Amino acid sequence: MKQNGFFGQWGGAYIPEILHQTFAELTIALRQAQNDPNFWQEYLELMSTYSCRPTPLTFAENLTKHFGGAKIYIKREDLNHTGAHKANNVMGQGLLVKRMGKKRVIAETGAGQHGMATATMAAKFGLECTIYMGEVDVLRQRPNVFWMEKMGATVIPVQDGSKTLKDAINEAFRDWVTNVDSTHYVLGTACGPAPFPEMVSWFQSIIGTEARKQILARHGKLPARVYACVGGGSNAMGIFQGFLYSDEVQLVGVEAGGKGLGSGMHASRLCGHDASPGVAQGYKTMFLQNSDGQMRETHSVAAGLDYVGVSPILSDLAEKGRVRFESATDDEVMTALDLTMRMEGIIPALESTHGFVQAFKEAPELSPDDAIIINQSGRGDKDIFTIAHAFNDPSWKEFIIARAKEYS
Amino acid sequence: MLLEKKLRARLEKNKILLMTHIVLGYPSMAANRQVIAQMVAGGVDCIEMQIPFSEPMADGPVILKANQDSLAAGTKVADCLAFGAEMTARHDIPFLFMTYYNIIFKYGEEKFFKDCRDAGIVGLIVPDLPPEMGENFFKLATEYQIAPVLIFTPTSTDARMAELDKVAAGFIYCVARRGVTGKQSEFGKDFNTYLARCRAATTLPLAVGFGICNRDDVTAITGLADMAVIGSETIRLVDAHGPEAVEPFIAGLR
């Protein structure tokens, strides 16, 4: 990282003055933690006892046979406690919050996984917790809302703007500037003002460190390619960091293609032609915005990818050509999900499935001596309502109708 | 800079100045025209015109909604600059633009400064651009003689205030409390200590904002600050009673 939190020309900390001191203190706390070997030990201990780390690297034998190319491995972040890679970041920030002595945490959430993880951490560490969630996402991810509330968090549906992730982030910042003394904002992805992109990536690097060791043990050499879906970019940053300096490993980020890159209804910032450099939500990156700098509506079947910006670190890696960016449409995602469930008995989250789509496109062109890794950032059972709806599943519909009658 | 000079001249006549705020294009530019005429007739000393942005991070619900409605009605940045030029030609008070940095960044920093100067704008308030992120911006501000107004907050240390004072011009906007725009502030003993710290940190005039909505609030800061900022309150007033309620409201503030 360069001075002032820039990665190449991206990043920075474009923050209201009221937060200046808080960011200064947060940066100091982060530097102290980074320089204290005990901190990372404590983190590893927590993640191996409270969550399921190291998460397995699963050989997808049936999918490998089906595509007849590279050996397909899946990094199982879905097996983390709370069901996604989000726990890595949240538990790390939780340890920092304890060090800083703050008593309350707030978070934004899109898919609900980060909110879930934050509510869990708050319950464990005895912190007060408020979660901001776009109203559209509250409807898409009802099961997660239920669990957050059960764990004692207050979930506030955000009704401004597009009522999705970016609006939840704005609202969390508004809370933070009001309650800056007592509260830490547990930002959920590798975006936002410095030091968040760096800090979140640091906690998520545990994925890549494990995956590198695991693939070398299983396959005897580095993978040819690594795939990860990219919303804000934290799971991608997590796994990519294990291979960033091994140039022979191609890193592929897969964004939400929604209804297609030409449709205007997608969330692809680094592939496609609809994004341009901008500064919003406290940082500089590629944003989906109009020529006046107003943010555009985004679309994805996956709430967690439905976001106007992207990690400044990934914008930098894209510009430098280190990470290649592709996109997967909603329809491609449903097909890949169906295949993965039937062939492997694994249910990836809709977000994660974007990575599977691109891996499936490319696996056949690689040799059986090659391995590829897909980062399964989360589990799909949270998406049961969306997935059942998209598959137009008759028995699910009957169940919902019957249950609704019971409640009416 | 020009802005400070104009404010100092007005301070010769009044112990406390009044600055008001409007969101351009909300509810319409035609209404903005009427509201500004009312504000000027009511005796305001300075007006900040907010160019709407889709992500107004530092604004509370009232101004947030005004931003969204203005954009939904199709307000463009170019319309705002043209409107600014029209206002400075019509009314003899200083006009500022307030907006978020992305608007200026996308417009092109130098072009924005040039067009602001041509439009007669004398100051800019950009709440998400701290000095360390805006090297080029602050250089251009000096070059084009448009005052970059910076913000002091109750969380600002003395050292930070000193840093901000080095690059600020026109006046210092002292935020009365933690939080977003449009919520009530309490002007207690801590507040007086805070304002005294602000005063010690700069020779620029001090404006106080965030939650000022009546004559008592204005009286409370008279003698401590140089200018009271009335933000969300006039939006609420226009929403409830129309533009013609503005002149008597402003005239009744001091």
Q: Is B59 a catalytic residue?
A: yes
| Smallest CA–CA distance from A167 into chain B, residue | B55
Surface of B (57-76) touching A: CB under 8 A = 57-58, 60, 64-65, 68, 71, 76
Looking at the fold, whether A236 and A326 belong to one and the same domain comes out as yes
pLDDT in tens, A229-262: 999 999 999 999 999 999 999 999 999 999 999 9
**Which residues, including other chains, have CB under 8 Å from residue A146's CB and lie 6 or more apart?**
none
A59 plus A69 within the same structural domain: yes
Interval B128-162: pLDDT, tens: 999 999 999 999 999 999 999 999 999 999 999 99
pLDDT, position A330: 97
Under an 8 A CB cutoff, do A13 and B54 touch? no
The answer on A256 and A145 residing in a single domain is no
ipTM: 0.94
Chain B, window 102-121: residues with a beta carbon less than 8 angstroms from a chain A beta carbon: 102-103, 105-107
Spell out which residues of chain B touch residue A194, defining contact as CB-CB under 8 Å.
Answer: none
Q: How distant is the alpha carbon of residue B40 from its chain centre?
A: 15
Of B101, B106, B151, the CB nearest to A14: B101
* CB nearest to B156's CB, from A4, A17, A181: A17
Chain A hits for B102, CB-CB cut-off 8 Å, are: 278-280, 287, 289, 293
A20 chain-B contacts, CB cut-off 8 A: 130, 153, 155-156, 160
A377 is an active site residue: yes
Task: Give a yes or no: residue A399 inside a domain.
Answer: no
Tell me the CATH number at A190: 3.40.50.1100
Q: What are the chain B neighbours of A294 within 8 Å (beta carbons)?
A: 53-54, 71
Same domain, A189 and A261: no
A233 and A375, same domain (yes or no): yes
Q: Residue A84 gets which letter from DSSP?
A: B
Distance from CA of B30 to the nearest CA of A (A): 21
Residue A225 sits in the same domain as residue A344: yes
Q: Is residue A405 part of a domain?
A: no
Out of B4, B48, B115, B226, pick the active-site residue: B48
Do A319 and A348 fall into the same domain?
A: yes
- CB-based contacts of A400, cutoff 8 Å, min separation 6: none
Residue to mutate among B112, B129, B133, with most A CBs inside 10 A, is B133
Q: A345 and A272 share a domain? A: yes
Total domains, chain A: 2
**Helix (H), strand (E) counts: chain A:** 15, 14
DSSP-assigned beta bridge partners for residue A7: A10
* Rounded Cα–Cα distance for residues B1 and A313 (Å): 39
Q: A349-375 b/e with 16+ CB inside 10 Å = b?
A: bbbbbbbbbbbbbbbeebeeebbbbbb
Selected catalytic residue, list A86, A163, A284, A382? A86
CA atoms lying within 13 Å on the CB side of residue A262: 0
Say yes or no: A304 and A321 in one domain: yes
Which residue from A minimizes the CA distance to B103? A293
* CB-based contact A276 B155, cutoff 8 Å: no
- Residue A402 is assigned to a structural domain of this protein: no
CA A187 → CA A107, A115, A291, distances in Å?
A: 6, 10, 28
Q: List, for residues A349-405, the tens digit of each pLDDT value.
A: 999 999 999 999 999 999 999 999 999 999 998 888 888 988 899 999 999 999 999
Residues of chain A contacting B60 with CB distance shorter than 8 Å: 174
pLDDT at B184: 60
- For the sheet with A371-376, list strands across it: A57-59, A71-76, A371-376, A225-229, A250-258, A323-329
Q: Give the nearest partner residue to A18 out of B77, B103, B178, using CB atoms.
A: B178
A341 and A364 within one domain: yes
Report yes or no: B151 at the A interface, CB cutoff 8 Å: yes
Please indicate, yes or no, if residue A292 is contained in any of the structural domains.
yes
B106 CA: distance to closest CA in chain A (Å): 6
Nearest residue in A to B77, CA atom: A292
Residues of A in contact with B174 (CB under 8 A): none
Are A71 and A106 contained in the same domain? no
CA separation for the pair A85, A116 (Å, rounded): 11
Whether residue A144 is found in the same domain as residue A287: no
Q: Which residues of B touch A12 (CB under 8 A)?
A: 133
Q: Using CA coordinates, name the residue in chain B closest to A279.
A: B102
Q: Is A89 left (phi over 0), alpha (psi -120 to 50) or beta?
A: alpha
End-to-end CA distance of chain A: 56
Rounded to whole angstroms, the Cα distance separating A65 from A373 reads 15
Q: Which residues of A touch B151 (CB under 8 A)?
A: 16-18
pLDDT digits (tens, 9 = 90+) for A96-149: 999 999 999 999 998 889 999 999 999 999 999 999 999 988 988 888 899 999
Of A196, A218, A244, the residue at which a domain comes to its end is A196
The answer to whether B167 and B138 are in contact (CB under 8 A) is yes
Tens-digit pLDDT profile for chain B (254 aa)?
699 999 999 999 999 999 999 999 999 999 999 999 999 999 999 999 999 999 998 888 889 999 999 999 999 999 999 999 999 999 999 999 999 999 999 999 999 999 999 999 999 999 999 999 999 999 999 999 999 999 999 999 999 999 999 999 999 999 987 776 666 666 677 888 999 999 999 999 999 987 788 999 899 899 999 999 998 889 999 999 999 999 999 999 99
**pLDDT value of residue B73:** 97
Q: How far is B148 from chain A (nearest CA, A)?
A: 14
Mutation target vs B (from A9, A108, A156, A292; most B CBs, 10 A cutoff): A292
Yes or no, beta carbons of A289 and B102 under 8 Å apart: yes
Task: Give me the domain span that covers residue A237.
Answer: 53-83+205-390
* Class for the domain spanning B2-251: alpha beta
A206 — alpha (psi -120 to 50), left (phi > 0) or beta?
alpha
Residue B53 corresponds to which tokens in the numbers above? 């942005």
Catalytic residue among B4, B59, B217, B247: B59
